[in-house]
Copies of this chain bind each other. A is one copy, B any other.
């Protein structure tokens, strides 16, 4: 039985897992992303972490068939190069070459939101669906599209990047991407905290409430605070609108919502569904289910393992 080493490089931690060829997480470990984010150093830590998991599980190194790595970045996937990962400070890093040098195993890299989509469509909320859009709503908003089990990347890896749907044509907030009015300026965790802080300043949210994460706003809303409820309903409405725009192009059978903001569960899902039904034509609405992600923080490492397995299958077919 083959296992795959799935890695999800984030701005604060590097999550890793040993994943079976059936999508089971056999073991997982994470380590903090060093301030330096030196790639060589990070690769060595990835290797130590793998060996620790192999010792824990009694699996031999020979059973590890490949490595998949997700990075919050624009990538040249075929060259194996990270073009730009802003949160890591990486530019033009030949990540695949570096990791192959360290591990002597096949390595596949991909954008982290794409891998979360691949994981969810493989063994998560999108399982068994042919056309899956997965939106990862956290600090920003990422997205990925999986068609018949394979990532659909578009021409240069930007397909499904719904965080940058310009949903406010005029007078929108400025986005990290340089445009204004992007979806992620209105319904990411960052946007939720900004809006809640505004309402706190005008007394609609208690002045002693701590607002450091979107979770704080969900907790307030759950406790009955009207201001916090309004913030979540607004964000969810924008998200549902953005998903309707995407579904009008893609006509998917499943939309999966993951990321930190999805922990709000039904407080998010119900107004998202309402906005989706308002802004997509009935035939698209009828075809599309919207669900919360099922794999939680594991989606990225599971998707990374799946990518590695698919790379191996494609290679075997060519040989």
Contact = CB atoms under 8 A, between A and B. Distances in A.
Interface of A: 74, 130-131, 145, 153-162, 164-167, 169, 177-179, 241, 244-246, 248-253, 278-284, 286-288
A251 B155 contact: yes
Contacts of A284: 158, 161
The interface centre, meaning the residue of A161, A246, A281 with most chain B CB atoms within 10 A of its CB, is A281
Contacts of A279: 166, 169, 179
Contacts of A249: 145, 159-160, 162, 165, 245-246, 249-250
A249 B242 CA distance: 10
Contact of A287 (B155, B160, B167): B155
A160 B245 CA distance: 11
A272 to B, nearest CB: 15
Given A155-B130, A250-B249, A251-B158, A244 B287 contact: no
Nearest to A133: B249
Given A169-B241, A241-B169, A253-B155, A248 B161 contact: yes
B156 A251 contact: yes
Contacts of A281: 158, 161, 164, 177-179
B245 A154 contact: no
Given A179-B281, A279-B166, A159 B251 contact: yes
A258 to B, nearest CB: 18
B159 A250 contact: yes
A157 B288 CA distance: 13
A241 B252 CA distance: 22
The 4 closest A-B pairs by CB, nearest first: A154-B251, A159-B251, A158-B251, A155-B253
Given A179-B281, A279-B179, A281-B177, A252 B169 contact: no
B250 A166 contact: no
The interface centre, meaning the residue of A131, A250, A287 with most chain B CB atoms within 10 A of its CB, is A250
A244 B177 CA distance: 15
Contacts of A158: 248, 251, 281, 283-284, 287
A283 B162 CA distance: 14
B157 A251 contact: yes
A251 B111 CA distance: 15
A100 B246 CA distance: 37
Given A169-B241, A241-B169, A250 B282 contact: no
12 contacts: A131-B154, A145-B249, A154-B250, A154-B287, A155-B288, A157-B251, A158-B251, A160-B251, A161-B248, A165-B245, A169-B241, A249-B250
Contacts of A166: 241, 244-245, 248, 279-280
A136 to B, nearest CB: 15
Given A155-B252, A161-B281, A164-B281, 13 more contacts: A153-B251, A154-B252, A156-B286, A158-B283, A159-B249, A159-B251, A160-B251, A162-B249, A166-B244, A167-B169, A178-B281, A178-B282, A245-B245
The interface centre, meaning the residue of A244, A251, A288 with most chain B CB atoms within 10 A of its CB, is A251
